[in-house]
Amino acid sequence: MTRGRFITLEGGEGAGKSTQAKRLAETLRRRGLEVIETREPGGADGAERLRDVLLDAPKEWWDPVGEALLLAAARRNHLQHTIRPALDRGAWVICDRFADSTMAYQGHGHGVPEGTLETLYDVAAGPFGPDLTLILDVPAETGLARAASRGTVNRFEALDRAFHLRVHLGFHDIAAREPERCMLIDALADQDTVASRVLAAVDARIAEWAADADAVDGSQPVVE
């Protein structure tokens, strides 16, 4: 059985990740794929409990390292109970946030050393990562205004503008450092336009995966 694909959507507050993840999943299902929609923090029973502990707690409860530890524990639970089982049976997994958010928020935003976050990721996930990451890009102020219009504010949305500017730049840094995995998507347009851009990026990567598979298959000797 062919292993499924793991696609993550990233970006700052109000970038539209949840909406675009849902729309992408629906499109892939119409093509006959089994698609699992999930999120971080969360995505499994234990991880959802930790999501509540992290996002709904007073901001003084957790310092940046404490946040990173909670996220690592939630990620391990998520991988064990949702992501890996789905990929192993051939399903595609669409995830609203993953480890890049930890690097952008706790690393670039809060200043947790990159090496610390990489160590936590290695402990939680090992040699595992997304097949494709789509970073939805909107200016920090625009994203915060969109988030505020929802009427609820979590512990991260409540942080100051300077923090969110650092997060925004962090995502750009991640995209620049890993262009083979990350694709930056302009998400300022209406939802339909952004959905078309997301799908075009995914289809381009699917074509690359197919070409790579053909190349591997064509290189195999014929055994008679």
Helix 161-177 × helix 140-148 angle, to 10°: 120
**77 in Cβ contact with 54 (< 8 Å):** no
C-alpha torsion 32→77→17→173, nearest 10: -120
Q: Does the annotation list 22 as a binding residue?
A: no
Rounded distance between C-alpha atoms, residue 45 and residue 49, angstroms: 7
Nearby residues of 164 by Cβ (< 8 Å), 6 or more positions away: 12, 13, 109, 140, 141, 143, 144
- Tally the C-alpha atoms within 13 A of residue 106's C-alpha that lie toward its C-beta: 27
Strands 132-137 and 182-186: parallel
Q: Does the annotation list 12 as a binding residue?
A: yes
Q: Does the annotation list 15 as a binding residue?
A: yes
Q: Is 27 exposed, middle or buried (0-12, 13-18, 19+ CB in 10 A)?
A: middle
Q: Does the annotation list 59 as a binding residue?
A: no
Q: Does the annotation list 13 as a binding residue?
A: yes
Q: Does the annotation list 147 as a binding residue?
A: no
**146 in Cβ contact with 190 (< 8 Å):** no
Binding residues: 11-18
Binding residues for ATP: 11-18
